[in-house]
């Protein structure tokens, strides 16, 4: 046996030998050979374990030979055998006769008729006070090992523990480094473009290269249907597979999307869940699929088919998963970029093509950009405009924009003002100004809508109103008084015939006066001018005044006028003359559009407590088709009736504005059994 000096020399030798290798397999074989060689025995086994106690690697040496062994087979030994006992107790053990020790797991060759009893030594491999594995040494003869052998074995194992741990950590770090390098390189390669299509291509080319596979496809989820569309593919089957689709939830891709993590299909032959599109990439043997994640959501999948070298392992999955996450960010960035770009492009087009002049300034009012129409209206070229501040062409209204333009935010401020052109001519403009991002810089957008035409129409309208007022109304009043005077001047024998002529003249003047007043009101009400001449009046009185004006026409058409006014109606607070004209309009229409001998009805009711009184004028004429019941209240709108009575189409428009000017409502319904019923509401006068 060895003496002390030899012992120390031996240890030095083995520790050097162990430390010289960093590859786990090599270290294990060296340790095993050292044990067999220096301690004795014919078979030595090592099981290496990770921090959680799972076997991660193993090795067996038989005499001079290394035997292949799968780590899985060793599970039983760890759970129940001698090695298991050592792992649990963290103590070395010497078994002089395996047939007499219960901890020994009997195997085929342990039976008496074969090699029978043996002796064994089993020692835990410790490194930095943690269990790194277990080593067993077996001798074919019982009682071949003694305590000295045990000590030697322990000494070897002390050296081996650290060497194995180092090798394991080295392998692990190398693996991680490989994955990290692959991902880092991919990140750089994928990020070289910001165009979505190019980004897809970079991703698949990179994936194919890093994973060393035959084919790679990239599928994106359609957010509305959940279906996955293959957007890009690389490899021999790229053409057949790209542009294919996997229905939502189907295939391996469907599982990956649902679970949000990658999946390895090592043998496609036994796999039933694959989608047709996934099988379309030629002859598929193995498949790897990982989700493309962006902001915590799965937006697509990466699928890799048929590894060129060894099988897909967990590392491949790790790499593909990493690529999937990278791809998600890269795709999203390029999508955002494209969207931003096209929004920018759209804004530029809108800006240039806008029919309104637009000027962009910085926050101090310095002009940065002006569109074609701004050049046209101002008479300056774009280059000239860019030399100016906004107040060269338009002085902002400080009440609206604030001093120094500080009041301008994201919502547009609108006001009317003017634009001074190169020749000093002022154009009326409606200004819409608000803050915008122009070429990524916070700026102000000034839309200066040319309202010269509208202003012209406005002044025309004012002229017309003035004309109606002065040039029509006052002469009409003069004619009326002259006619009245003529009546009193007639000699007694002419009195009767004069009176009938004068009545006709009177009636016609009335009509013209009403029309003039209504046109005037229409024009004012359209400009939202309030109804100011309001008084407390009896609604019944207004009806009777209106009837006076139309009774003759009804009589001449043999039409009946039926009064349905409720008794004791409350007073209303209205412009009496205006409402009287509304009533005349409705009654005249009823007479006009109802055949001879027709029946016309009018009335008014009031619900106790209500602030509104409801009035109506009804006829049994042709009625108004449902689709026209709103539009007939629009100006110049008439229902096309060939040969029907003529008109201007302003009567009902006036009625509507007049009633609305009083806060009320007006509408038309179908009367029963036929005809139309115009209904409107008037405000009840508040007492006290």
Nearer CB in complex with ligand ADP: 458/630: 630
Evaluate whether 200 touches 231 at the Cβ level (below 8 Å).
yes
**HEC string of 269-327?**
HHCCCCCHHHHCCCCCCCEEEEEEEECCEEEEEEEEEEECCCCCCHHHHHHHHHHHHHH
Rounded Cα gap, residues 451 and 457, in angstroms: 10
As measured in angstroms, the least distance from the Cβ of 354 to ligand ADP is 38
Evaluate whether 287 touches 217 at the Cβ level (below 8 Å).
no
636: helix, strand or coil: coil
Nearer CB in complex with ligand ADP: 218/578: 578
Nearer CB in complex with ligand ADP: 19/512: 512
Rounded Cα gap, residues 108 and 412, in angstroms: 91
Rounded Cα gap, residues 28 and 669, in angstroms: 100
Nearer CB in complex with ligand ADP: 165/590: 590
Nearer CB in complex with ligand ADP: 236/649: 649
Nearer CB in complex with ligand ADP: 319/590: 590
Rounded Cα gap, residues 521 and 515, in angstroms: 10
As measured in angstroms, the least distance from the Cβ of 590 to ligand ADP is 5
At residue 336's C-alpha, the angle toward residues 333 and 342, to 5°, is 140
678: helix, strand or coil: strand
As measured in angstroms, the least distance from the Cβ of 520 to ligand ADP is 17
Rounded Cα gap, residues 279 and 268, in angstroms: 9
Nearer CB in complex with ligand ADP: 3/640: 640
Nearer CB in complex with ligand ADP: 475/649: 649
Q: Which of 190, 220, 176 is nearest to 326 (CA)?
A: 190
Which two tokens mark 313?
């392992």
As measured in angstroms, the least distance from the Cβ of 479 to ligand ADP is 24
Residue with the shortest CB distance to ligand ADP: 647
As measured in angstroms, the least distance from the Cβ of 549 to ligand ADP is 15
As measured in angstroms, the least distance from the Cβ of 404 to ligand ADP is 53
At residue 633's C-alpha, the angle toward residues 627 and 636, to 5°, is 105
Burial 380-399 (b: 16+ CB within 10 A, else e): beeeebeebebeebbebeee
Give me the residues that bind ligand ADP (CB under 6 A), please: 589-590, 593, 619, 621-622, 624, 632, 638-639, 647-653, 676
As measured in angstroms, the least distance from the Cβ of 519 to ligand ADP is 12
Taking CA atoms, 283 is separated from 243, 267, 301, 447, in Å, by 19, 12, 20, 63
Nearer CB in complex with ligand ADP: 31/587: 587
Evaluate whether 366 touches 389 at the Cβ level (below 8 Å).
yes
As measured in angstroms, the least distance from the Cβ of 480 to ligand ADP is 24
As measured in angstroms, the least distance from the Cβ of 588 to ligand ADP is 8
């Amino acid at each position: 046996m060895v003496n002390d000096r030899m012992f120390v020399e031996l240890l030095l030798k083995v520790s050097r030998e162990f430390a010289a290798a960093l590859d786990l397999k090599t270290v294990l074989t060296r340790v095993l050979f050292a044990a067999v060689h220096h301690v004795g025995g014919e078979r030595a086994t090592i099981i290496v374990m990770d921090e959680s106690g799972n076997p991660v690697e193993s090795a067996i040496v038989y005499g001079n030979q290394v035997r292949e062994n799968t780590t899985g087979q060793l599970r039983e030994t760890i759970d129940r055998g001698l090695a298991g006992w050592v792992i649990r107790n963290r103590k070395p053990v010497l078994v002089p006769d395996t047939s007499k020790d219960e901890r020994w797991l009997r195997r085929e060759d342990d039976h008496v008729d074969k090699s029978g009893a043996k002796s064994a030594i089993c020692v835990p491999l410790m490194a930095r006070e943690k269990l790194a594995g277990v080593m067993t040494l077996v001798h074919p003869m019982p009682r071949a090992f003694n305590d000295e052998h045990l000590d030697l074995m322990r000494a070897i194992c002390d050296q081996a523990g650290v060497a194995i741990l180092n090798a394991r950590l080295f392998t692990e770090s190398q693996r991680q480094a490989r994955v990290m390098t692959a991902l880092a390189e991919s990140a750089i390669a994928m990020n070289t473009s910001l165009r979505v299509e190019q980004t897809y291509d970079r991703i698949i080319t990179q994936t194919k290269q890093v994973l060393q596979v035959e084919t790679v496809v990239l599928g994106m989820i359609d957010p509305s249907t959940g279906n996955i569309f293959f957007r890009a593919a690389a490899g021999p089957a790229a053409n057949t597979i790209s542009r294919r689709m996997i229905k939502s939830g189907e295939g391996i891709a469907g599982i990956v999307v649902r679970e949000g993590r990658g999946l390895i299909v090592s043998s496609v032959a036994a796999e039933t869940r694959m989608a047709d599109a996934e099988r379309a990439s030629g002859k598929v043997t193995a498949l790897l699929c990982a989700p493309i994640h962006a902001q915590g959501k799965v937006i697509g999948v990466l699928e890799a088919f048929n590894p060129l070298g060894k099988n897909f392992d967990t590392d491949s999955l790790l790499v593909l998963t990493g690529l999937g996450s990278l791809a998600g960010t890269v795709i999203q960035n390029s999508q955002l970029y494209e969207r931003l770009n096209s929004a920018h492009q759209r804004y530029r087009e809108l800006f240039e093509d806008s029919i309104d002049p637009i000027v962009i300034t910085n926050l101090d009012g310095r002009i940065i950009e002006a569109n074609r129409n701004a050049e046209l209206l101002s008479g300056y070229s774009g280059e000239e405009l860019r030399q100016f501040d906004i107040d060269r062409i338009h002085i902002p209204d400080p009440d609206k924009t604030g001093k120094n333009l500080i009041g301008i935010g994201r919502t547009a401020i609108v006001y009317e003002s003017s634009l001074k052109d190169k020749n000093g001519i002022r154009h009326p403009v409606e200004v819409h100004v608000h803050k915008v991002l122009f070429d990524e810089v916070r700026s102000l957008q000034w839309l200066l809508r040319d309202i010269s035409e509208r202003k012209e129409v406005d002044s025309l309208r004012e002229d017309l109103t003035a004309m109606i007022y002065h040039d029509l109304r006052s002469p009409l009043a003069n004619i009326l008084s002259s006619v009245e005077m003529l009546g009193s001047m007639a000699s007694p024998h002419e009195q009767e015939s004069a009176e009938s002529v004068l009545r006709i003249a009177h009636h016609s003047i009335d009509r013209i006066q009403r029309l003039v007043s209504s046109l005037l009101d229409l024009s004012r009400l359209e400009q939202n001018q309030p109804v100011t001449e309001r008084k407390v009046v009896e609604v019944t009185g207004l009806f009777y005044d209106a009837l006076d004006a139309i009774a003759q026409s009804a009589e001449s058409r043999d039409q009946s006028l039926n009064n349905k006014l409720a008794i004791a109606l409350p007073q209303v607070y209205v412009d009496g003359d205006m409402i009287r004209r509304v009533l005349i309009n409705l009654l005249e229409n009823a007479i006009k559009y109802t055949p001879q001998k027709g029946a016309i009805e009018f009335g008014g009711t009031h619900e106790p407590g209500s602030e509104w009184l409801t009035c109506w004028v009804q006829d049994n004429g042709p009625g108004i088709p449902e689709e026209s019941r709103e539009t007939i209240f629009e100006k110049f709108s008439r229902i096309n009736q060939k040969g029907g009575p003529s008109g201007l189409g302003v009567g009902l428009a006036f009625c509507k504005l007049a009633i609305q000017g009083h806060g009320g409502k007006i509408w038309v319904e179908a009367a029963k059994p036929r005809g139309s019923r115009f209904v409107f509401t008037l405000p009840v006068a508040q007492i006290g």
